[in-house]
Structure 1
Amino acid sequence: MKGVIMAGGVGARLRPLTCNIPKPMMPLMNKPIMEHILKLLKEHGITEVCATLQYLPEMIKNYFEDGSDFGVNLKYYIEEIPLGTAGSVKNAQEFLDETFIVISGDVLCDINLAEAIEFHKKKRSIATLVLTREEIPLEYGVVVTTEDGNIIRFLEKPSWAEVFSDTINTGIYILEPEVLDYFEKDEVFDFSKDLFPLLLKDRQPLFGMVSDCYWCDIGSPEQYIQAHKDIFKGNVQGNFWDGSKEQGLWLGKDISWGNNCTITPPVTIGNNCRIGDNVIIEPYTVIDDNTIVDDNASIKRSIIWKNSYIGKGSEIRGSIICGKTTIKDNVSIFENAIIGEETIIEPRSTIKPGVKIWPGKTIEEECIISSNIIWGTKSSKYLFGERGISGKINIDVTPELAAKLGASFGCQLPKKSKIAVSGIDTPYIEMIKIALISGILSLGHEVFDLGNTLLPITKKAVPYHKLSGGVHLREKNNGEILIEFFDSRGTAIDKEMQRKIQHAFIRDDFQRCIPEDIKKVNSIPNFCENYITQLAENYDTDLIRQNKFVVGFSASEQNTLKVLSMFLEKLGVKPVKLKKGIQGSYDLVVIVEDHGNKIQLGVDDFYTDDTYNYLIDSIITLKSGECDCITLPLNSPRIIQDIAKKYNADVKWSKISTYEPPDPFEFIGKVIEYICANKTDFEDLLEEVPSYYWKYKTVPCPWEDKGKVIRRLMEIEDPEMKIETIEGVKLHHNKGCVLVLPDAEKPLCKIYGEGYTEEFAESITEQLIEKIKGIRDE
């Protein structure tokens, strides 16, 4: 008698347990399930065995090798593509030259194979199926037999309306070699769906033996946990543990015990484990080899795979923790949660019941995870970056997240609020926008869809229509989506509002409205024209028209180009669309990129950037005499202070994260009107900007080191340096200054260096980079 172990299943229903290992390699009492199957075969004298493999075959081959360590001779047959249960066994036809038994490599059973083999021989059967009783047979093949075991009917995975028996197919078969001649090699063929009905139709002797022994198909996490409980309770016969087994404590070798531990059996603890002081381990807990359970941790009814770490004060309840997982201090993981392999959970985080985290994820400090984490590598307690919420579409930012985000924003606003939503016109952004709108509507709010609209237009539409807030979605230059939120004034929400949204998102607790309170989405498709009209009213368009001002213009997106063209025409200039390779004579060149958020002004070969635009805007404002104080972001050149002094004005430095830049189209109009009113040109305006030397660089810095870096920089004692801590750390020197700012979205620090000479700007920037590297690498 030879044996076939079917070990090619993917185990999709068990994910994330089976993301990185084949289902037969899942540990059952700290040994692969398939090892228990090999032991069962060997105990019944079946030592010539082959395994059919398909998913991650090398992992199985590397563990079992030729089978000699397990008392069998083991061969392997690999499917390149799934061929069905019978198709996979067909690959081993040359090996199967006598009666053979087929058994799944991912079941737990204590079936008496000798009894089944005897039944097969006595009935002179060509195929014998081992059957069992199942109260709810919907996930299995249902079989009907006569009194003497003759099979008369099959039905695979019936509905309740189709159930005609509680006798099911266990997937254990005793077969004669000739059954494999009923189909061709490499043909997709299944035992229960194809071969057995064919044998039945061909009137071959097909029998079923009903066994009252234990059998469990480990097809779900719940069944996996139940299988361990059944072993502990003695419901399944067999020797599942080679180590010490006294008073319900199944203990491996070289376990290190702390003081005042409370271990309540039945419990399994593998080899080389370390159990800290005051640890509590309650019944039906299984801990695999090389695992550390640190002081004051508490584990109940959980399965922890090998090479894991459970931090101090952490509590694990009814969960499965996969291998090489690091759970840091004071983490709580609740019922039916599954933590994938090589996951890191930072301190004081909470994993709510039923959550599944796929392998290789990092859960940041103090996170509360209430939904599955599948894509991406990190779940952060910080949703918001520098300008909003961003990430890869359908990986970091999914429709599910967007709907939850819409509800999180909506629940911060008064009941029955009116909210603007807009987005750039692409299918994927539209998908996220629809999901976000659904979340807002679920709270009974009213949504005004501005359609394919630029950010500056949305910000103006919110106060114009007297709305409570707004949301704008667009694509960033790196291909990610960016979601920005605004208050009733059309300005970006502050940090306090961000925290409230974050808290609501984490709690996942929203007061949904009744169906009758759900509103229709209102459409406001043409606010762009209103926006342009409002802007143009701020300028002397007659003056501009009299100057016959010529503007060459271009934009990186079609919608932006349309808005820019309409605005320039309304302003009274002569707009000329720039064409590649064609030169022209212009009073000013305007280039708008990033969906209206990046402006470049220029003549000849010089074009401004954001920093230069801030300086130009400040100079025009100061010369107008309209104010005695201007506000600029902290990363602006401090040379502006020298300009302000000339006009008896002050400079107020704003945090970069809260700075509201000028409306880009307002800025364009402001520059054109200034040039026309003062009968000057753009070159003369540029000459009013003093020379300054500016360096911007970044240095990699892990998240956990950012706080240390900033603290250590603040401790610098240098009589030539003055420290400012409005945001990040700004070090002032009489020859210049440097700002170090931790990035809100990436593991790096930004360095802005400025000097009266280029050499000093370069030198102070490089000095700080080396300083940060030294602190980081300590």
Structure 2
Amino acid sequence: MSYDWRNVVVAPTTTVRESLQRLDSEALRIVLVCDSSSHLCGVVTDGDIRRALLKGVDLDSAVEAVMNRKPITITSSTPRSEALNLMQTRSILAVPVVDNGVLVGLQTLQPRESSNRYENPVFIMAGGFGTRLRPLTDNIPKPMLKVGDKPMLEILLQNFIRRGFKNFYISTHYLPEVIKSYFGDGKNWNINITYVHEEQPLGTGGALGLLPEDTPNLPLIMVNGDVLTNVDFERVLDFHATNNGVATMCVREYDYQIPYGVIVGDGERIVSMEEKPIQRFFVNAGIYVVEPLIFKNVAKNHRIDMPTLLQNYLDNDQDVCMFPIHEYWLDIGRMDDFKRAQLDIKSLSFD
């Protein structure tokens, strides 16, 4: 794969948002921050940005606020073999080439392409009634509604397939034959599909108890079937492995503006006033990675939702991590969401 490292060079005042666009468009997984004299000020990776988002950094902040100011570098005289060994031992995908403080190039490992193959199970929740989308869902399950020219479930599957995943489990309840007749066993997509049918709705967590015993003993990615997203699931899995939790929940930042002036008082005295403040929260994005410890220990036909299931592990001092999503994400729960998806899909890239 050919590339020009100059395309990922940005100024310290460039916004985090624009830096993300460079990360995604150039596929080098690094942004190089330089001053006007080409001196390397720092580097930014996808992980740097996600950690900053968890700390409350805004996407419109300058990238210098999130960059690594002391990155690993090499010089132009460093042999390629030594550079490769450095990247492999330090688990990094690229290293800047710097001579006397000036950026002169970039060495990278071979890019991780879709030739990668993951045995990890992918569990897609597709059993809901979709009552808020009636009458569209009177005769079809919500995940089978078309966004553009494809069912949203197919769009989700193809996003996983591009990343090298092949072992899929789909939970069904409402009109399961519609899903099964369309996807079959997955051979038309060169994947394996196993169906898990809920006789009674068991909640997102309870469905895990119906997985077959031969489900691969690897971290499992779980996602709601009505989510439209171009999240890189490889990155989600890498994040989970790096942070060593029993589970990882993908989260999305949600802003809420209070429509009134907020007053803070101490007895009869006003301490401070803020006009229509914005509160920021992280909300559940309906995407999880869970260790076998979790999905192999859910009792069969036991109803439980994922937040409750994960809270049980939190209560026992087990680490549950959160992965902030900055990519496109839409939960298609209402008619307005469905209409928006029809517009967004025209310009949305899943590459």
TM range (shorter): 0.5 to 0.7
CA contact (8 A) 1:52 1:89 kept: no
| Cα distance, 1:164 vs structure 2 | 7.1
More deviation, 43-52/178-187: 178-187
Whether 1:196 and 2:310 are equivalent positions in the alignment is yes
Q: Looking at CA atoms only, which structure, 1 or 2, has the larger radius of gyration? A: 1
Aligned to 1:742: none
Aligned to 2:263: none
Whether 1:209 and 2:323 are equivalent positions in the alignment is yes
Structure 1: tracts of 5 or more residues without a match: 138-162, 240-778
Aligned to 2:53: none
1:34 maps to which of 153, 177, 190? 153
1:177 maps to which of 274, 289, 292? 292
CA contact (8 A) 2:230 2:327 kept: yes
Aligned to 1:218: 332
Whether 1:8 and 2:123 are equivalent positions in the alignment is no
Change (3 A) 1:63 1:181: closer
Aligned to 1:60: 179
The 2-side partners of 1:191 and 1:165 are apart by 23
Whether 1:85 and 2:204 are equivalent positions in the alignment is yes
| Cα distance, 1:165 vs structure 2 | 4.3
TM-score (norm 2): 0.58
Structure 1 runs (4+) greater than 4 angstroms displaced: none
| Cα distance, 1:181 vs structure 2 | 4.8
| Cα distance, 1:89 vs structure 2 | 2.1
The 2-side partners of 1:174 and 1:203 are apart by 18
Q: Sequence identity of aligned pairs in percent?
A: 34
CA contact (8 A) 1:8 1:22 kept: yes
Whether 1:106 and 2:226 are equivalent positions in the alignment is yes
Whether 1:21 and 2:140 are equivalent positions in the alignment is yes
What's the secondary structure of 2:252's corresponding residue?
strand
The CA deviation string for residues 173-206 of structure 1, in whole angstroms up to 9 with x for no partner, is 11111113554211111101x1111111011111
Change (3 A) 1:207 1:93: farther
| Cα distance, 1:166 vs structure 2 | 2.1
**Alignment-mate amino acid for residue 168 of structure 1:** V
The 2-side partners of 1:71 and 1:28 are apart by 22
Matches of residues 398-417 of structure 1 in structure 2 within 5 Å?
A: none
CA contact (8 A) 1:93 1:180 kept: no
Matches of residues 5-404 of structure 1 in structure 2 within 5 Å?
A: 5-94=124-213, 95-136=215-256, 165-192=280-307, 194-232=308-346, 234=347, 236-238=348-350
Aligned to 1:647: none
Aligned to 2:82: none
Matches of residues 219-618 of structure 1 in structure 2 within 5 Å?
A: 219-232=333-346, 234=347, 236-238=348-350
The 2-side partners of 1:20 and 1:186 are apart by 26
Change (3 A) 1:17 1:86: same
The 2-side partners of 1:68 and 1:98 are apart by 22
The 2-side partners of 1:164 and 1:125 are apart by 28
CA contact (8 A) 1:107 1:217 kept: yes
The CA deviation string for residues 467-525 of structure 1, in whole angstroms up to 9 with x for no partner, is xxxxxxxxxxxxxxxxxxxxxxxxxxxxxxxxxxxxxxxxxxxxxxxxxxxxxxxxxxx
CA contact (8 A) 2:247 2:290 kept: yes
The 2-side partners of 1:20 and 1:178 are apart by 37
**Alignment-mate amino acid for residue 37 of structure 1:** L
Change (3 A) 1:201 1:167: same
The 2-side partners of 1:54 and 1:44 are apart by 28
**Alignment-mate amino acid for residue 62 of structure 1:** S
TM-score (norm 1): 0.26
Matched length: 211
| Cα distance, 1:96 vs structure 2 | 4.5
What's the secondary structure of 1:52's corresponding residue?
strand
The 2-side partners of 1:237 and 1:212 are apart by 14
CA contact (8 A) 2:254 2:280 kept: no
What's the secondary structure of 2:255's corresponding residue?
coil
Matches of residues 741-752 of structure 1 in structure 2 within 5 Å?
A: none
The 1-side partners of 2:249 and 2:322 are apart by 5
